[in-house]
Amino acid sequence: MIEIQKLIKQADNKLILRGVDLSITKGETVAILGPNGAGKSTLLKVLANLIKPTSGQVKINGMDLKKEHLKIKKIVGYLPHSSLLYDHFSPLENLVFFGNVYGINNVETSAIELVKEVGLSFFLNEPVKNFSRGMIQRIAIARAIIHEPEVLLLDEPHTGLDQGAIAILNNVILTMKEKGTTTLMVTHDFKQAAEICDRIIIVKNGKIVDDFKIKDRDLNFVSEKYQLLTEGVS
Ligand code: ADP
Ligand code: MG
Ligand code: MG
């Protein structure tokens, strides 16, 4: 579903991504972990077509990002690091606005369903300006999936959320997975990654330095692996 070859990104004479090769199959849920400044967000931004790579190739669902970004845009959902909503819009208006940008049909019905799915029906028509971080993030993720993307890119979706919001977020990600969505999620939260992902990739200094499957939710394995990683990482 996602094929990345020899991806290099340079900015201001600094190599941010120094040759990333990565292959993700349809329906996989993959976490990207790594220290600050490793290049994790940059990798997602390239996939979301926000920034252009310096060199290398990116294919999503067989389409070359360089040539077919307009088609790719329709099948990719992206939740940036600090998600912002329109302050004076309600959840419904925020979702309908983005659904209209994507040109989807029956946008209001989808929006109402999604607001229900993230547990905020009661606030459907309240301006979001007084919402907590968790509530904002729940609407932001609903917005990222309003067009039913085949590929979902999430940048630190769990950061700053309470347990309730984390549970709802995880549920949304797992529901998307059941529908066949491929998810790539940057996180600092190893436990959440182990809980909902099939595979973990470690990025350090612009390169993938480890890549492993989480088998049978074996948390011991994962936490041992994590300790090994953090020894080298901090
Ligand atoms: P991460 O998400 O892993 O914390 P980022 O991908 O945001 O890291 O950034 C990786 C490194 O590249 C950081 O040192 C950051 O300051 C730098 N960087 C990111 N974008 C740019 C840019 N447009 N110009 C120059 N440096 C950048
Ligand atoms: Mg960071
Ligand atoms: Mg980042």
Provide the ipTM: 0.96
234: pLDDT strictly greater than 50 = no
In short, whether 16's Cβ falls inside 6 Å of ligand 1 is yes
Q: Which residue's alpha carbon is nearest to atom 16 within ligand 1? A: 37
- Tokens, residue 199: 């595979």
Give residue 141's identity as a one-letter amino acid code.
I
Strands, E, within 91-227: which ranges?
A: 151-155, 182-186, 199-204, 207-213
Q: CB–CB of 182/152 below 8 Å?
A: yes
Average of pLDDT values for 190-211? Answer: 92
**What is the rounded average pLDDT of the residues 46-56?**
96
Model pLDDT, residue 233: 47
Q: Whose CA is nearest to atom 11 of ligand 1?
A: 37
pLDDT band (50, 70, 90) for residue 81: confident
Q: Is 12 in the pocket of ligand 1 (CB under 6 A)?
A: yes
Domains of the chain: 2-233 (3.40.50.300)
